[in-house]
Amino acid sequence: MNNTLTIEAKHSPEFLERLLRVCRHRGFSIITINATTEQQLTNIELTVSSERDISLLIKQINKVIGVLTVTLSASSRNIKASA
Amino acid sequence: MNGANFVVHALIEQNVTQVFGYPGGAIMPLYDALFDGGVDHLLCRHEQGAAMAAIGYARSTGKVGVCIATSGPGATNLITGLADALLDSVPVVAITGQVPTHLIGTDAFQEVDVLGLSLACTKHSFMVETAEQLGPVIEQAFEIATSGRPGPVLIDIPKDIQVGPSVAYALAQLAETQQPLDQAIITEAKNLISHAKKPLLYVGGGVGMAKAVPALRTFIEQTQIPSVCTLKAIGCIEHNSTHFMGMVGMHGSKASNLAIQECDLLIAVGARFDDRVTGKLDEFAPHAKVIHLDIDAAEIDKLRQVTISMTDDIKQVLPAITVKPSIEQWQQHISEMKVTHANRYDHPGEPIFAPALLRQLAETMPADTVICSDVGQHQMWVAQHMFVDRPENHISSSGLGTMGFGVPAAVGAQVARPNDTVIAVSGDGSFMMNIQELGTIKRKQLPVKILLIDNQRLGMVRQWQELFFNGRFSETILTDNPDFVTLASAFDIPGETIVVKSQIDQALQRLLNSDGPYLLHVSISEEENVWPLVPPGAANDQMMESIG
């Protein structure tokens, strides 16, 4: 299952490291990531893949200090075409 | 006032009176500031010891524990202690020196990326980049360490920030705030409790961390709902509470584990469905609806899908959901199970039986004694056979299972509570892991009592090798241990060795009556195992038991 999250956070030099570590440790592979920082705010669009429920990751990201909002913006099951 | 002086000032503002640490190059300005007094510093003999002493200080008091180390190896030596504090949700603030800002990223002497290392073993961490950040960072560190689910916070301070001028900042104290409870969920919870025929409280370490022990005991008194606890929650419920069955899980009591499997409503309070508690998760409490109370929203539905959850302060929630169910049959059944599956202390022959020894120690030690356990078989025997009536009096590395924890944790507890008896219960494997902290005991003349249970083995690993690895005792035989009494005497710690039951009475008296530190070295058979045992991958009602 692929899920796309939109995350807004206070900027800090290591914020992306924190986010990526949480994703990996909690069992979510990163498919795409786009991050921009302006005026001390970091906005991230992140697509992750896992068989685990996305709510588990959302809760863990919400615990990262500096995270302001986490929104699930899209979900899709990644179905490979059979040969 | 330079940055280092400001740090000491800020610690005082946060009501810190005691810190634990070890000096070194990049933290020397802070040690120079500490030299002026205001905050007591205890020199531990390894940074891991300092971190664990800070944990012992925090867990025995409910205050924040503070530890200090230098950059590079000083900081890396803290890591195991920080991970221990993270897994057990202990409020610790660690301060590390860092190389000067212009040298960061140059592979300077004793430079390591401490902020990077801290990401997986702290609740949060800071690198102070300017003098202006110092005050707000220290304020935030203490707030984060103590608020919500507590945990360790690291502050990395480059040397030039320590020696440069500070920037004035008025530090605020954290004020506890409470949100109104969701009355619809309260009503639903009360409805579940009042209709339950076999409700059971599953109490975790969060109760003690939330300072909710009085609220829990009132809830139990008013509802008479039977209860079990986790390793970290030992002491939350009075040991002689009528329907309390003790610890649940892998080495939990048989009554606790059977009750879990039979209950129709499980009320999890400050507990997180850890694998050592649940055994085979799919078969844990298979008939139960679940009410889960935990301050950490990430614990809700993490491992067990629950019926109702609340992430509010347990102190608020428990009175609000108090309703007495009609469960006389269930209470009677619990009482019968407690009798049927009570611990037995009959043991043939002269060799010392550790569970009986620990039971006797619990019965003879002064009130309000703090037990700091190390990790291994002795840790489980302490949990099963000793009893304490405050969570602050049972300090055990529960989540991380850190060998070497017991002695430095006892150092921290003894410093925090100088008028109480503090006993470190260790094993011969664990004891050697932080043996250097005997030097800390000597330095401060701390009256820590050490009960060393020695089977000349890495006992818990040996037990698993016997049961699950065909008796292939790979690297667990420690017949080459040092003479521990002689070793202790090198640190001016008197002690003795006992090997048979008839020596126990007098030896325990000498241990407990000694004015200073004391080592009671107890030799036991390597063949003693911890029972009962829920084998890996099994449900909690499939316990292995002693056939003796």
Whether B144 contacts chain A with CB within 8 A? yes
What does the pLDDT look like over A5-36, one tens digit per residue?
999 999 999 999 999 999 999 999 999 999 99
**Residues in a beta bridge with B522:** B453, B498
Whether residue A61 is contained in a domain is answered as yes
What's the first-to-final CA gap in chain B, in angstroms? 68
Q: How far apart are CA A17 and CA A39, in angstroms?
A: 20
Whether residue A83 is contained in a domain is answered as no
How close is the nearest chain A Cα to the Cα of B133, in Å?
13
Q: How far apart are CA B386 and CA B158, in angstroms?
A: 46
Q: What is the mean pLDDT of chain A?
A: 93
Whether B105 contacts chain A with CB within 8 A? no
Looking at the structure of chain A, the number of domains it has is 1
User: Which tokens go with B166?
Assistant: 């500070």
Residue B326 pLDDT > 50: yes
Coil, helix or strand for B307?
coil
Strands across the sheet containing B152-158? B40-43, B18-21, B65-69, B92-98, B152-158, B124-127
Domain hosting residue A71, numbered range: 2-75
Coil, helix or strand for A2?
strand
Query: What are the angstrom distances between the C-alpha of B203 and each of B216, B229, B312?
Result: 9, 5, 16
- Provide ipTM, 2 decimals: 0.93
Q: How far apart are CA B329 and CA B224, in angstroms?
A: 12
Whether residue A68 is contained in a domain is answered as yes
Closest CB from B120, B127, B298 relative to A60: B298
Closest CB from B124, B127, B298 relative to A65: B124
Residue A83 pLDDT > 50: no
pLDDT at B179: 85
Q: What is the mean pLDDT of chain B?
A: 97
Among all residues of chain A, which has the CA nearest to that of B301?
A: A56
Instruction: Please report the beta strands in B70-144, taking only residues with DSSP state E, as ranges in sequence order.
Output: 92-98, 124-127
Q: Do A17 and B116 touch (CB under 8 A)?
A: yes
Q: How far apart are CA B58 and CA B49, in angstroms?
A: 14
Q: How far apart are CA B395 and CA B409, in angstroms?
A: 8
pLDDT band at B185 (very low <50, low <70, confident <90, very high): very high
Residue B90 pLDDT > 70: yes
Choosing from B13, B28, B63, B110, the catalytic residue is B110
Chain A contact set for B119 (CB, 8 A) = 14, 17-18, 21
User: Which tokens go with B315?
Assistant: 């102190």
Alpha helices (H) in B279-323, listed in sequence order: 314-320
Is B324 among the residues known to form the active site? Answer: no
Is B224 among the residues known to form the active site? Answer: no
**Residues in a beta bridge with B424:** B372, B450
Q: Are B462 and B528 in contact (CB under 8 A)?
A: no
Whether residue A60 is contained in a domain is answered as yes
What's the rounded mean pLDDT across residues B331-335?
Answer: 98
DSSP notation for B210-268 = TT-HHHHHHHHHHH---EEE-GGGTTSS-TT-TTEEEE-STTS-HHHHHHHHH-SEEEE
pLDDT at B474: 98
Whether B123 contacts chain A with CB within 8 A? yes
Coil, helix or strand for B524?
coil
pLDDT band at B175 (very low <50, low <70, confident <90, very high): confident
Residue of B199, B210, B189 lying closest to B316 (CA atoms): B210
Q: How far apart are CA B377 and CA B395, in angstroms?
A: 15
Whether B120 contacts chain A with CB within 8 A? yes
DSSP-derived pairing of the beta strands A29-38 and A41-49? antiparallel
Is B460 among the residues known to form the active site? Answer: yes
pLDDT at A75: 87
What's the rounded mean pLDDT across residues B94-119?
Answer: 98
How close is the nearest chain A Cα to the Cα of B128, in Å?
11
Q: How far apart are CA B312 and CA B398, in angstroms?
A: 24
**Residues in a beta bridge with B450:** B424, B519
Residue of B129, B95, B126, B115 lying closest to B11 (CA atoms): B95
Query: CB neighbours (10 Å) of residue B475?
Result: 9
Exposed/middle/buried for residue A65 (C-beta within 10 Å: 0-12, 13-18, 19+): middle
Whether residue A82 is contained in a domain is answered as no
Residue B446 pLDDT > 60: yes
CA B415, B421, B426: angle at the middle one, nearest 5? 85
Q: Are B525 and B455 in contact (CB under 8 A)?
A: yes
Choosing from B52, B245, B403, B460, the catalytic residue is B460
Whether A14 contacts chain B with CB within 8 A? yes
**Chains A & B: contacts with CB separation below 8 Å:** 29
What's the rounded mean pLDDT across residues B133-143?
Answer: 97
Residue A82 pLDDT > 80: no
DSSP state of B155: E
* One-letter amino acid for residue A59 of the chain: K
Is B129 among the residues known to form the active site? Answer: no
Coil, helix or strand for B141?
helix
* One-letter amino acid for residue B7 of the chain: V
Q: How far apart are CA B411 and CA B48, in angstroms?
A: 12
Residue A81 pLDDT > 50: no
Is B110 among the residues known to form the active site? Answer: yes
Whether residue A18 is contained in a domain is answered as yes
Residue of B95, B205, B206, B91 lying closest to B147 (CA atoms): B91
How close is the nearest chain B Cα to the Cα of A82, in Å?
33
Q: How far apart are CA B179 and CA B302, in angstroms?
A: 24
How close is the nearest chain A Cα to the Cα of B124, in Å?
7
pLDDT band at B548 (very low <50, low <70, confident <90, very high): low
Whether B12 contacts chain A with CB within 8 A? no
Whether residue A80 is contained in a domain is answered as no
Q: pTM score > 0.95 for this model? A: yes
Q: How far apart are CA B357 and CA B353, in angstroms?
A: 6
- pLDDT over 90 for what percent of chain B? 98
Among all residues of chain A, which has the CA nearest to that of B144?
A: A65
Q: Residues of B335-353 as b/e, b for ≥16 C-beta within 10 angstroms?
A: eebbeebeeeeeeeeeebb
What's the rounded mean pLDDT across residues B426-439?
Answer: 98
Chain A contact set for B120 (CB, 8 A) = 21, 25
CATH number at residue A59: 3.30.70.260
pLDDT at B64: 98
pLDDT band at B547 (very low <50, low <70, confident <90, very high): low
DSSP state of A79: P
Among all residues of chain A, which has the CA nearest to that of B124?
A: A65
Whether residue A46 is contained in a domain is answered as yes
pLDDT at A59: 98
What's the rounded mean pLDDT across residues B264-271?
Answer: 98
